C-alpha cells in the first residue's frame, strides 16, 4: 500500500524533474528554420551565442515598432532575428523587405533615427516555429542564451519608445541572457 502511494508521487513528479532534459530551470527553444528573402535561418546560425527573437508581423506597428527600435537603442549591435508569425508570405502585398523599410521609417523624424540591420524573416508554414513556441500573435520577444535556452519572454511592449527606464530594463534582460542559464 505504501509502495503504491510512493509510486504515485514519483509518477506525478517525473515530468517536473525531466522537462528540460538538463539541469537548467530554463527550457531549450525548439530546432527551427525561418524563411528570408535570401535563404533560411536556423538555430545553427546562432550556435554558441546569445540572441533575441522578435515575433512580429508586417501589420504589427504597435508594440512591434517601438520594441524593435528600443532593442537597438538599448543594446545596439546584438543579434536579433525578426520573425513574422503570419503564414502568408506577403500579407496585404507587403514583402519582408517592404516590411523592414516600414519599421525603419518609424523613427525617421526622431533625433535617434536608426536603420536596423536585423534579418527579417517569416515562419515556415509547414513547420511553424512560432506555434511550437506557443506564440500565435505578434508582439512577443524571446531572449535566448548561448546554449539555446529561453531566458526571458516579453509579451507586448517593453515600454515607451526611447524611454530611459525602458532601455535600462532591456539592457538588464540582455545582461542576464549573456550570463546564461546555470548548468
Q: How far is the CB of 115 from Ca ion (least distance, A)?
A: 6
CB of 16 to Ca ion, least distance (A): 46
Of 111 and 183, which has the nearer Cβ to Ca ion?
Answer: 111
107 in contact with Ca ion (CB under 5 A) = yes
Residue 113 touching Ca ion (CB under 5 A): yes
Exactly one of 108, 109, 111, 183 binds Ca ion (CB under 5 A); which one? Answer: 108
Stretch that binds Ca ion, among 92-100, 108-116, 148-156, 169-177 (CB under 5 A): 108-116
User: Rounded to an integer, what distance in angstroms lies between the CA atom of residue 12 and that of residue 127?
Assistant: 31
- Cα separation, 179 vs 176, in Å, equals 5
Rounded least distance, CB 66 to Ca ion, Å: 13
Q: DSSP per residue over 26-73, as a string? A: SPBPPP-EEEETTEEEEGGGGTTS-EEEEEE-TT--TTHHHHHHHHHH
Taking the complex as a whole, the smallest distance from the CB of residue 65 to Ca ion amounts, in Å, to: 10
Q: Are strands 140-144 and 33-36 parallel, antiparallel or unpaired?
A: unpaired
What would the x/- binding string for Ca ion be over residues 50 to 89, using CB under 5 A? ----------------------------------------
Peptide bond into 50 cis (omega under 30): no
148: left (phi over 0), alpha (psi -120 to 50) or beta: left
Q: Is residue 109 a contact residue for Ca ion (CB under 5 A)?
A: no
Helix (H) or strand (E) holding 17: helix 2-18
> Out of 85, 104, 154, 166, which residue is the one contacting Ca ion (CB under 5 A)?
104
Separation between Cα atoms, residue 161 and residue 154, nearest integer Å: 15
Residues of this chain that interact with Ca ion (CB under 5 A) are 104, 107-108, 113
Amino acid at each position: 500500500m505504501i509502495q503504491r502511494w510512493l509510486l504515485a508521487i514519483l509518477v506525478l513528479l517525473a515530468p517536473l524533474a525531466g522537462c528540460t532534459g538538463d539541469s537548467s530551470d530554463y527550457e531549450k527553444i525548439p530546432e527551427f528554420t525561418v524563411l528570408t528573402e535570401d535563404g533560411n535561418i536556423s538555430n545553427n546560425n546562432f550556435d554558441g551565442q546569445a540572441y533575441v527573437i522578435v515575433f512580429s508581423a508586417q501589420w504589427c506597428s504597435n508594440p512591434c515598432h517601438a520594441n524593435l527600435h528600443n532593442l537597438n537603442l538599448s543594446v545596439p549591435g546584438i543579434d536579433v532575428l525578426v520573425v513574422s508569425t503570419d503564414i502568408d508570405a506577403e500579407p496585404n502585398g507587403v514583402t519582408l523587405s517592404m516590411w523592414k523599410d516600414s519599421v525603419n521609417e518609424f523613427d525617421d523624424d526622431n533625433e535617434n533615427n536608426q536603420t536596423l540591420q536585423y534579418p527579417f524573416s517569416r515562419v515556415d508554414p509547414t513547420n511553424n516555429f512560432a506555434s511550437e513556441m506557443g506564440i500565435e500573435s505578434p508582439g512577443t520577444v524571446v531572449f535566448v542564451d548561448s546554449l539555446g535556452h529561453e531566458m526571458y519572454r516579453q509579451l507586448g511592449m517593453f515600454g515607451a519608445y526611447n524611454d530611459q527606464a525602458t532601455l535600462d530594463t532591456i539592457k538588464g534582460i540582455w545582461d542576464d541572457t549573456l550570463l546564461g542559464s546555470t548548468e
